[in-house]
Amino acid sequence: MTKALDRNTGRTMAWVVAGGSAAAVRRLYSKLEQLSECLFYTDDWDAWANVLPAERYVIGKKHTTSTEQDNPRR
């Protein structure tokens, strides 16, 4: 699963269930591209670079959250 989180609130904005592929990133981005004022903080994964507009994303772990950290505990 790949999620897009609001960095300020921690809220899940969109998600897709898929493996690590550019197709999965395209599906996720299609759910978010209307948010014209947002930036995407990602890890250094080629699929991001192939899909996201360069002016809207920042590569680095500092502002990313793993799915495991975001999932609620039972």
In a domain, 6, yes or no: yes
Which tens digits make up the pLDDT trace of 4-23?
Answer: 888 888 888 999 998 768 89
Total domains in the chain come to 1
In a domain, 58, yes or no: yes
pLDDT of residue 42: 85
How many angstroms separate the CA atoms of 55 and 65, rounded?
21
What's the pTM?
A: 0.77
pLDDT of residue 71: 52
Q: Which domain holds residue 38?
A: 2-68
In a domain, 56, yes or no: yes
Which tens digits make up the pLDDT trace of 32-63?
Answer: 999 988 888 888 888 888 999 999 988 887 77
In a domain, 73, yes or no: no
pLDDT of residue 69: 54
In a domain, 27, yes or no: yes
pLDDT of residue 23: 92
DSSP line for 15-55? EE---SSHHHHHHHHHTTTT-TT--EEE-S-HHHHHHS-GG
